Structure 1
Amino acid sequence: MAEKSILAYFHSLEEAEGVASKLRALRAIDVSVDRFGKYPGDGVDHVMNPITSDFPGLGYLTQSADFDSRDAAVLAAADVDASGLAGGAESDLTGRDVVLAVVVDESIYEQALRVVHEGGGIP
């Protein structure tokens, strides 16, 4: 029994979880859904006034990042995303910060790919 894997990117956890449940119904060997980002941390979880509050840096405010290293925080603040004016090049993956990883038997690989596409994922 040969196995194949698929990595697919989604806009939301709900989209990915919906596809994951369909893949489980197809008897996928392993299915995992997770959110990822360019910077570490879970994001800012409280409202604060940047003028009066103590915060670790610009990257914390603008990119919801939680840095262990001051050097990493400085580099994030230098990123064009920190200014809020970044246009950036659009790609098919823009705004897709949820990844679904699935391992399936080779016999259902094509069917699993169709489920991912129909559910809005990009492999």
Structure 2
Amino acid sequence: MRQDPDRHTLLAYFPSRAQAERAKRALEGEGFQELQIDRVSRYGTESASILTNPLTGNFTSLANLTLGSQDAGEDEGVLMAADPAASGLAENVGVREKGYLLTIVTGQERVERARVIAEREGGEV
């Protein structure tokens, strides 16, 4: 696959979908058109497609409940639950996952403006 040499791709990672959506709207407001939000994870399993209520739902592990992952098996669930992000203390130890990826494709002349907007909305570019 070849990309036009004038086209650049920026990847901005956000801790919440709401922040990624705000950045996308801000970019659209300034005329950016090639934008896409995806859910990414550092874990090898797929993310849960629905949220589970811990009081009424049936969840398979702590990792499923706190990390939103669908465990491939019992062993994986145990290992994932040992992750600091599953304890609820992740924000204090600096391992909060930035699991929402906003992809921005733009021309060279607008790369810096796209970066400024994404970072202003809480993204890491």
Which category describes the TM-score, using the shorter chain as reference length? 0.5 to 0.7
Q: Flag structure 1 segments of 5+ consecutive residues without an equivalent.
A: none
CA–CA separation in structure 1 for the residues paired with 2:90 and 2:110? 42
Shift in Å, 1:3: 0.5
CA–CA separation in structure 1 for the residues paired with 2:22 and 2:66? 31
Q: Flag structure 2 segments of 5+ consecutive residues without an equivalent.
A: none
Taking structure 2 as the reference length, the TM-score comes to: 0.66
Residue type at the aligned position of 2:38: D
Pair 1:26-2:33 in alignment: no
Shift in Å, 1:116: 1.6
- The Cα offsets for residues 85-119 of structure 1, whole Å up to 9 and x where unpaired, read as 7787426xx35332211111112111211222222
How many residues align? The count is: 118
Identity level (%): 27
Task: Tell me the residue number matched to 2:47.
Answer: 41
Aligned 1:67-106 pairs, distance under 5 A: 67-82=71-86, 89-90=93-94, 94-106=96-108
* Aligned-residue RMSD, C-alpha: 3.2
Taking structure 1 as the reference length, the TM-score comes to: 0.66
CA contact (8 A) 1:28 1:105 kept: no
CA–CA separation in structure 2 for the residues paired with 1:114 and 1:8? 11
Task: Tell me the residue number matched to 2:112.
Answer: 110
